[in-house]
Amino acid sequence: MALVLLLWKYAWNPILNAVNDREEGIKNALAAAEEAKKEMQNLTADNEKLLKQARAERETLLKEAREIRDKIVTDAKEMAQAEGNKLIKQAQSTIESEKKAAVADIKNQVAELSVEIAEKVIKEQLSNKEKQLKLVDDMLGDIKLN
């Protein structure tokens, strides 16, 4: 019993104090852990919010980039079409003028050849009196009276 009294007087209070201090330390650590957990949840929520905003901004930028790309492609197609039409019209105009020039040249050549042939034929026809008379008779035979 003396041992119990001795333990009670000298050891029991320090042991109880140590246990109480330990219990208080555990409570504080649990409270700190709970606070850290709440902060972590807040940070996670903030991160999610930031991620959503970043995704929304990325989608907006991608949409704008697609629209710009489509506009550039459309404008380029329209310019190419207009330039192609312009070149076709120029080519058609050039072809038409070259065609007219060629037809005029052919007409001139045909006229020259016709005159030369007629000249030769008339010279040949008029060189002989019999041929002249025959030519006049043939021409008169070709004329039909109404």
pLDDT average per 10 residues of sequence, the chain (146 residues):
72 81 92 94 93 96 96 95 96 95 89 79 70 73 62
pLDDT of residue 126: 67
Q: Give residue 13's pLDDT.
A: 78
Is 4 within the bounds of a domain?
no
The reported pTM is 0.44
Domain of residue 98: give its range. 11-142
Q: What is the pLDDT of residue 146?
A: 43
* Cα-based distances in Å from 53 to 40, 42, 43, 49: 20, 16, 15, 6
Copy the structure tokens of residue 125: 């026809």
Cα separation, 37 vs 23, in Å, equals 21
Q: Count of H helices and E strands in the chain?
A: 3, 0
Q: Is residue 52 part of a domain?
A: yes
DSSP three-state, residue 143: coil
What is the length of the chain? 146
Examine residue 3 and state whether it is found in any structural domain, yes or no: no
- How many domains does the chain divide into? 1
